Amino acid sequence: MEPGSKRDFSDFNPFSLKESGSSPPKDRVILHCDLNNFYASVECLDKPYLKNRPVAVCGDPERRHGIVLAKNEPAKRFGIQTGEPLCVAKAKCPAILFLPAHPASYKEYSQKLRRLYRRYTDQIESFGIDECFLDVTGSLGLFGTGEQIANELRTAAKATTGLTISAGVSFNKTFSKMGSDYKKPDATTLISRNNYKELLWPLPVENMLFAGRATAEKLRLFGIHTIGELALTPQKVLEKYFGKAGVQLHAKANGFDPEPVQKDDFLRPPESIGNSLTCPFDLVSMDEVRPVLFMLCDSVSARLRRHSLKCRVLVLSVRTNRFENRTHQKILSEETHLSTVLFYNALSLYEQTKRAGEALRGLGICAKKLTDENSIQLSFLDGSLERAKKEKLEQTVDRIRERFGNKILGSALYLTQPELCSDHPLYREDEPFRHS
């Protein structure tokens, strides 16, 4: 297909992708509720004088966490972006006001909204602290259509909390999320089988949920610039060049997303576990990098054990003092949740990829390809007994920390850089976001 060419989608039948003779499934009614500018909106609730002033919630500049975490609508009009340094935001908007973050308040308001959602359904699945999917199919007889329920929720949220919601209503989770993004703030968008081609297919392909920037760039190389062009590209072509992800994107662009909305008490197993740390000073030498890497691995391994998981892939992320980011990953020789094993692999990965003279502002560690620790078969011939001893030791450390606090035990490496200890990821796990 030619780049920029337009397609006629009027004759496309999504059900034709199914096997012939099959009947369309009974549609669900799914809402996606997204609290508008959540952190910034909470901060401005008791400060009405800030209503029309550009405001951004930021990390602590003294701890070098000076990035934009959230912004309000007036700030958005100046092009302020989440994640950009405060100096950049200030250059775009000299009048912007920076406010500190209050995680406990965000958690409180998030819980208030969940109590509101429970009036309509028990199928409530979090998509972040400020977003939720709701399956209201079984509630239509009591409360009316999906649009009516969404509008009631928006009105009730504004009346009880002062916060506004953008809601998407659709027959699957993907389109409901894209519906809440379609019009902001404080709006309801219905994406139905009758209008999704009209509303979504003309949008740039990067607007497709889970497409990602890198995937979108690769799709454009193949002449796929819009969601509609993605939907009409033969599935076999996408599978050949994008694998399973291509098949999934094709299905979702065509409206096929059978994934259920989970119950309110459902805890989704994590697909990855990671932590990052912005350091109070630039890291130049290995003596400075080493304790930071161990702290991060210590935190990640403890969280893996808490979920009874082991990982097979380790990802190292670095952020330079020029705000350049890059990642490197390594397949481990075996599944593990040992901090020492993660540390030595992370150290090896860093030594292989470090650049001469480079100063680092931050580091991150992420464990991927997670496996239930109980599903891994042990052998007496491969060092499993010795590994079991090490695992028992680290589990003992976990229990001591649970009883007496995370600061009670730590590596001697921390003594080499005591100024970093206050930022140990284990000491700040209750934060709803991570600084990077």
Known catalytic residues are: 131
Residue entry with tokens 């003594």: 415
Contacts of 191 (CB under 8 A, 6+ apart): 168, 169, 170, 175, 176, 178, 179, 182, 199, 200
Pairing of β 68-71 and β 55-58: antiparallel
Contacts of 7 (CB under 8 A, 6+ apart): 201, 226, 228, 229, 232
Q: Is 389 exposed, middle or buried (0-12, 13-18, 19+ CB in 10 A)?
A: exposed
Q: How far apart are CA 313 and CA 328, in angstroms?
A: 11
- The DSSP code sequence of 173-185 is HHHHHHHHHHS-S
**Eight-state DSSP code of residue 226:** B
Crossing angle of helices 286-306 and 339-353, in 10° steps, is 140
**Eight-state DSSP code of residue 205:** G
Give the torsion sign (CA, 370, 372, 376, 382): positive
Q: Is 186 exposed, middle or buried (0-12, 13-18, 19+ CB in 10 A)?
A: middle
Euclidean distance between the first and the last CA atom of the chain, given in angstroms as a whole number:
40
Residues in the chain: 436
